[in-house]
Amino acid sequence: VHELLQTPDRVLVEVGPGRALSSLIGKHPALTGEHVVLTTMRHPHDQQPDRAVVQEAIGRLWLAGMRVDWQAFAGEQRRRLPLPTYPFEHQRYWIAPQPESAAESRATRTGKTLSPADWLHTLSWKRVRLPRAQANGSAAPRSWLIFAGDDALSNELMRRLADKGDQVVAVYPGARFEQLDAGRYTLDPRASQHYQRLQAALGDAGHVPTEIVHLWSATPGTSSLEAAEISDTHYRALFSLLFLARAFDPAQTPQPLGLRVITSGTQSVHGDEPLIPARSSVWAACRQIMRSYPQLACRLVDITGDHADHALLAEQLADEITRTAPDMLVAYRGGQRWVPVLEKDESSIGGEPASTSLDGGAYLITDGLALPGYRFAEELAQTANARLVLTDRGILPPREEWQTWRDAKDLSAAQQRWLDQALVAQRRLFFDLRAHQAFIDERVTKLAHESPVQARPANLEHDSNLLCSSYIWEYLVASGIDVRRGSSYTRDELLQRLGIVAKFARLYSFMLAALAEDGIVELADDTIRFVGAAQDAEQLKHELSGRYPASAEGFKVLEHCIRSYPEVLTGRAEPIGVLYPQGNTDMMRSIEANQALFSNIRTCRALITSLVSRIAEQTPERTLRILEVGAGEGNVTWELAAALRSANVEYHVTDIGRSFVLQAQKHAADAGYDFMRFDTLNIAHDPLSQGFEPHSFDIILAAEVLHATPDIQATLNNLQRLLVPNGTLGIIEATRIERWANLVWGLLDGWWHFTDAELRQNSPLLSLEQWQRVLDRQGFANITLYPRVDQQQSSEDYGLIVAQAPQQLSATADSGWLATAREEQIVSVRDSLRRLEALEALGAQVRVVAAAENGDHLRAAVSEAQQLGGALHGVIHSVRPATPTTPETPPYLIEANIQRHLRELVALEQALDSISLDRALLVTAGASWLDGSGDLAALATMCAHAAYAQANQSKRGLHWTSVDWLVQPGVASAAEQMAVRQILSLDTPQIIVTSQAVPRSWNTVGEFTALPALPAAAPRAHPRPHHLGPYVPPQTEVEQKLAQCWHDVLGIEQVGLEDDFLALGGDSLQATQLLSRIRQVFSVNLELRTFFSTPTIAGTARAIAELQSQVAQNDEHEILDILRHLQNLSPEEIAAELQRRKHLIEET
Q: Does residue 792 have a pLDDT over 80?
A: no
Residue 549's Cα: distance from chain center in Å?
48
Q: Does residue 974 have a pLDDT over 90?
A: no
Average pLDDT, the chain: 84
**Band of pLDDT at residue 57, cut at 50, 70 and 90:** confident
What is the predicted pLDDT for the residue at 394? 87
The answer to whether the CB of 171 falls within 8 A of the CB of 223 is: no
Q: Which residue type is seen at 315? A: E
Q: Examine the domain organization and report whether 797 and 875 are in the same domain.
A: no
Q: What is the mean pLDDT of residues 870-886?
A: 88
Q: Which residues on adjacent β-strands are paired with residue 991?
A: 963
What is the predicted pLDDT for the residue at 1051? 73
Q: How far apart are CA 366 and CA 878, in angstroms?
A: 5
Does residue 1145 sit within a domain?
A: no
What is the predicted pLDDT for the residue at 277? 92
Listed range (96-110, 858-872, 1130-1144) with the worst mean pLDDT: 96-110
Angle at 479 between CA 474 and CA 485, to 5 degrees: 60
Q: How far apart are CA 802 and CA 784, in angstroms?
A: 5
Q: What is the mean pLDDT of residues 36-60?
A: 77
**Band of pLDDT at residue 1141, cut at 50, 70 and 90:** low
Q: How far apart are CA 42 and CA 48, in angstroms?
A: 8
Q: What is the mean pLDDT of residues 798-812?
A: 83
Higher pLDDT: 376 or 1071? It is: 376
Q: Tell me the pairing of strands 329-333 and 336-344.
A: antiparallel
What is the predicted pLDDT for the residue at 1089? 72
Q: How far apart are CA 297 and CA 289, in angstroms?
A: 9
Q: Which residue type is seen at 173? A: P
CATH number at residue 171: 3.40.50.11460
What is the predicted pLDDT for the residue at 701? 98
Q: What is the mean pLDDT of residues 663-677?
A: 88
Angle at 578 between CA 577 and CA 579, to 5 degrees: 95
Q: What is the mean pLDDT of residues 602-627?
A: 92
Q: What is the mean pLDDT of residues 259-276?
A: 92
Q: How far apart are CA 332 and CA 994, in angstroms?
A: 27
Q: Which residues on adjacent β-strands are paired with residue 73?
A: none
The number of residues making up the chain comes to: 1148
What is the predicted pLDDT for the residue at 105? 43
Q: How far apart are CA 777 and CA 638, in angstroms?
A: 32
Higher pLDDT: 348 or 1082? It is: 1082
Q: Examine the domain organization and report whether 991 and 870 are in the same domain.
A: yes
824: Cα within 13 Å, side-chain hemisphere? 16
Q: How far apart are CA 937 and CA 927, in angstroms?
A: 9
420: Cα within 13 Å, side-chain hemisphere? 19
Q: Does residue 1136 have a pLDDT over 90?
A: no
Q: Examine the domain organization and report whether 238 and 228 are in the same domain.
A: yes
Q: How far apart are CA 614 and CA 619, in angstroms?
A: 9
φ/ψ (deg, to 5) at 312: -65, -45
SS3 letters for 994-1063?
CCECCCCCCCEHHHHHCCCCCCCCCCCCECCCHHHCCCCCCCCHHHHHHHHHHHHHHCECCCCCCCCCCC
Q: Which residues on adjacent β-strands are paired with residue 529?
A: 488, 522
- Domain end marker among 55, 81, 97: 97
pTM assigned to the model: 0.72
CATH number at residue 966: 3.40.50.720
109: Cα within 13 Å, side-chain hemisphere? 19
Q: Does residue 84 have a pLDDT over 70?
A: no
Q: Examine the domain organization and report whether 879 and 905 are in the same domain.
A: yes
Q: How far apart are CA 895 and CA 233, in angstroms?
A: 11
Q: Which residues on adjacent β-strands are paired with residue 1052?
A: 1022
Listed residue (901, 988, 980, 887) closest to 944, CA to CA: 901
Which whole-number Å values give the CA distances from 799 to 461, 779, 787, in the listed order? 19, 20, 6
**Band of pLDDT at residue 1017, cut at 50, 70 and 90:** very low
φ/ψ (deg, to 5) at 336: -105, 150
CATH number at residue 672: 3.40.50.150
What is the predicted pLDDT for the residue at 73? 76
Q: What is the mean pLDDT of residues 290-316?
A: 86
Q: Does residue 14 have a pLDDT over 90?
A: no
Q: Examine the domain organization and report whether 799 and 813 are in the same domain.
A: no
Listed residue (165, 137, 135, 161) closest to 148, CA to CA: 161
Listed range (370-374, 508-512, 1021-1025) with the worst mean pLDDT: 1021-1025
Q: How far apart are CA 950 and CA 1124, in angstroms?
A: 59
CATH number at residue 1041: 1.10.1200.10
Listed range (13-27, 489-503, 858-872, 1088-1102) with the worst mean pLDDT: 13-27
The helix or strand, by DSSP H or E, that contains position 173, with its residue range, turns out to be: strand 167-173
Q: Model confidence over 204-243: pLDDT tens digits?
A: 998 889 999 999 999 888 777 787 788 889 999 999 999 9
Q: Model confidence over 694-706: pLDDT tens digits?
A: 899 999 999 999 9
Close Cβ partners of 925 (under 8 Å, ≥ 6 residues apart)? 371, 372, 878, 879, 880, 938, 965, 967
Q: Which residues on adjacent β-strands are paired with residue 785?
A: 801
Does residue 21 sit within a domain?
A: yes
Close Cβ partners of 780 (under 8 Å, ≥ 6 residues apart)? 716, 720, 729, 803, 804, 805, 806
What is the predicted pLDDT for the residue at 20? 67
What is the predicted pLDDT for the residue at 1121? 58
Q: Model confidence over 919-933: pLDDT tens digits?
A: 899 999 998 888 888
Q: Examine the domain organization and report whether 335 and 381 are in the same domain.
A: no
Q: Does residue 21 have a pLDDT over 80?
A: no
Burial letters for 956-983: b for 16+ Cβ neighbours within 10 Å, e otherwise? eebebbbbbbbbebebeeebbbbbbbbb
Does residue 775 sit within a domain?
A: yes
Q: Model confidence over 510-547: pLDDT tens digits?
A: 999 999 999 999 999 899 999 999 999 999 999 999 99
Higher pLDDT: 960 or 1073? It is: 960
Q: How far apart are CA 35 and CA 8, in angstroms?
A: 6
Q: How far apart are CA 1004 and CA 326, in angstroms?
A: 5
Does residue 289 sit within a domain?
A: yes
Listed residue (335, 326, 328, 325) closest to 304, CA to CA: 335
| Residue 892 domain boundaries | 353-393+851-996
Written as one string, the DSSP assignment of 272-311 is -S---GGGGHHHHHHHHHHHHSTTEEEEEEEE-TT-S-HH
Percentage of the chain lying above the pLDDT 90 cut: 42
Q: Examine the domain organization and report whether 578 and 627 are in the same domain.
A: no
Close Cβ partners of 619 (under 8 Å, ≥ 6 residues apart)? 429, 430, 431, 698, 853, 854
Q: Examine the domain organization and report whether 62 and 178 are in the same domain.
A: no
Q: How far apart are CA 934 and CA 455, in angstroms?
A: 61
Q: Which residue type is seen at 864? A: E
Q: Which residue type is seen at 1034? A: P
Does residue 611 sit within a domain?
A: no
Q: Examine the domain organization and report whether 179 and 322 are in the same domain.
A: yes
Listed residue (314, 317, 307, 310) closest to 337, CA to CA: 317
Q: Examine the domain organization and report whether 628 and 564 are in the same domain.
A: no
Q: Does residue 824 have a pLDDT over 90?
A: no
Residue 757 burial (10 A CB sphere; 0-12, 13-18, 19+) = exposed
The answer to whether the CB of 418 falls within 8 A of the CB of 426 is: no
Q: Model confidence over 889-900: pLDDT tens digits?
A: 888 889 888 988
Higher pLDDT: 136 or 712? It is: 712
The answer to whether the CB of 904 falls within 8 A of the CB of 877 is: yes
**Band of pLDDT at residue 945, cut at 50, 70 and 90:** very high
**Band of pLDDT at residue 327, cut at 50, 70 and 90:** very high
Q: Does residue 90 have a pLDDT over 60?
A: no
| Strands, E assignment, 96-161 | 120-127, 143-147
Close Cβ partners of 632 (under 8 Å, ≥ 6 residues apart)? 655, 657, 660, 704, 705
Close Cβ partners of 1087 (under 8 Å, ≥ 6 residues apart)? 888, 890
- Other Cβ atoms less than 10 A from the Cβ of 987: the count is 10
Q: Which residues on adjacent β-strands are paired with residue 344?
A: 121
What is the predicted pLDDT for the residue at 96? 46
Does residue 131 sit within a domain?
A: yes
Q: Examine the domain organization and report whether 1094 and 1031 are in the same domain.
A: yes
Q: Examine the domain organization and report whether 891 and 818 are in the same domain.
A: no
Which whole-number Å values give the CA distances from 361 to 373, 382, 915, in the listed order? 17, 13, 14
Secondary structure class of 372 (helix, strand, coil):
coil
**Band of pLDDT at residue 961, cut at 50, 70 and 90:** very high
Q: Does residue 103 have a pLDDT over 60?
A: no
Q: How far apart are CA 818 and CA 554, in angstroms?
A: 52
Does residue 626 sit within a domain?
A: yes
Q: Ramachandran region of residue 700, left (φ > 0), alpha (ψ -120 to 50) or beta?
A: beta
Domain count, the chain: 7
Round the CA-based radius of gyration of the chain to a whole number and report it. Answer: 34
Percentage of the chain lying above the pLDDT 70 cut: 85
| Strands, E assignment, 656-721 | 676-680, 697-703
Does residue 320 sit within a domain?
A: yes
Residue 136 burial (10 A CB sphere; 0-12, 13-18, 19+) = exposed
